[in-house]
Amino acid sequence: MEYSGSYSPKVSVVVPTYNEAGTIGPLIREVNSAAAKLHPRIVVVDDGSMDGTRDEARWAGKSMDVTIIERGSRMGFGTAISDGLNAALHLAPDYIVTMDADLSHAPGDLPRLVEACSEGTLVIGSRYIERGRSPGLGMGRRLVSRLGNWAARETLAIPVRDCTSGFRCYHHEIVEAILPKLCSRGYDIQIETLYRTLEWGFKVVEVPIEFSPRRVGRSKLEAREAMRYFKTLNSLKTNRS
């Protein structure tokens, strides 16, 4: 990535973790390698892991700019995202990237998300636009994802193909605006942050990514997360301001 003159944007990368000891180290190293020109400041928000995730993050981040927030107990993915966004703002970045810890989001795509971002813009790494892909994803998971995205578009009239993608780049002023209103505790945070962004009148664009199945460990998605997601959709629709 090339920037005019000596300018290089300040980028913070928020990574929520829960029992991701097998991937957090490689992720930190790959992010720093792929986005070396951006000098990323990584914020790992650990949700009470019991498998050594925090130790792996410390080891990988020894010579890098990594902050680890230890929350002690499992409080939920949504609150981890909110805490991470809040911590990232204190680093005074131009842009804040969120991504999964399981390497399903390719660190090599991170610079493209940042490059596509500008003032007042949220960039979403999308599986469901031209050149976006999700190879190897099981049929059941694919159907759930498609259903969730269809429901978001229909319920809230959101003009986005991949509403549930967690690989995003926010201009800092968006996070400053929406953070005080966020209340989601689970994976419904993805739809709430998107809805709040549009509610404030900010711009949303999508860039294609390749989403890969996790390399190790197991998915944290549970049936109750789906129930919470649809409950949040209805709540946002009912309480439109």
**Helical segments of 39-138, H only:** 53-60, 77-89, 110-116
Residue-level pLDDT, tens digit, the chain, 241 residues: 445 455 689 999 999 999 999 999 999 999 999 999 999 999 999 999 999 999 999 999 998 999 999 998 999 999 999 999 999 999 999 999 999 999 999 999 999 999 999 999 999 999 999 999 988 777 888 888 899 999 999 999 999 999 999 999 999 999 999 999 999 999 999 999 999 999 999 999 999 999 987 766 566 566 688 889 999 999 999 987 5
Q: What's the predicted TM-score (pTM) here?
A: 0.92
Write down the domain spans for the chain. 11-238
The domain defined by 11-238 folds into Spore Coat Polysaccharide Biosynthesis Protein SpsA; Chain A (3.90.550)
Give how far Cα 99 sits from Cα of 7, 16, 201, 216, 230, Å.
24, 8, 24, 16, 22
Q: How many Å from the N-terminal Cα to the C-terminal Cα in the chain?
A: 40
